[in-house]
Amino acid sequence: MKRLPDDDCGFASALNVIGGKWKTDILWEINLSPRRFGELRRILSGISEKVLAQQLREMEADDLISREVFPGKVQRVEYSATEFGRSLNHAVIVMANWGKAYEIRMAEKAEEERRPVLAMGA
C-alpha cells in the first residue's frame, strides 16, 4: 500500500500502520490467540502466501506483532500481538463502529432517494 505522508495529528501514521486489505484481519486473529503462518492462511481465505508474509513483516517492523521461532526438527513460527499491537484494538473498534454507522446511514439515504416523491396536494 502506498504510504500517506505524515501529518500533525498522527492520523496518517495510524492509517499507514493498519492500511492494506488484510492488516486489520490479521491483527484481529492474532489478538484472539497466537497463530502460526499456516493457520492464518486457512483462516484468511483469499490471502496469498506472498501478501501474508509481507503484511506480517510490516506489522512486525511496526511493533504490532512479534514473531517467535520454536526450534526443533520442524521449525515452528508463531505470531502474537505485542502490547502495543493490542492497544490498537481500541482504535480499530471505534473505527469499525463508525464504519457500521456509516453503512447504515448510506443505506438509509439510498432508500430515501428510491422512494417516489408524492405530488403536492395529492
CATH topology of domain 11-114: Arc Repressor Mutant, subunit A (1.10.10)
Is the predicted pLDDT of residue 24 greater than 60, yes or no?
yes
Q: What average pLDDT does this structure show over 53-82?
A: 93
- Contacts of the segment 50-53: beta carbons below 8 A, 24+ positions apart: 51/21, 51/22, 52/22, 52/26
Domain map (residue ranges) of the chain? 11-114
- What pTM did the predictor assign? 0.74
Is the predicted pLDDT of residue 119 greater than 60, yes or no?
no
Q: What is the pLDDT of residues 6-15, one digit of tens each?
A: 666 777 888 8
CA distances from 58 to 18, 21, 48, 99, 116 (A): 10, 13, 15, 25, 50
The full DSSP string for 82-107 is: -HHHHHHHHHHHHHHHHHHHHHHHHH
Is the predicted pLDDT of residue 49 greater than 70, yes or no?
yes
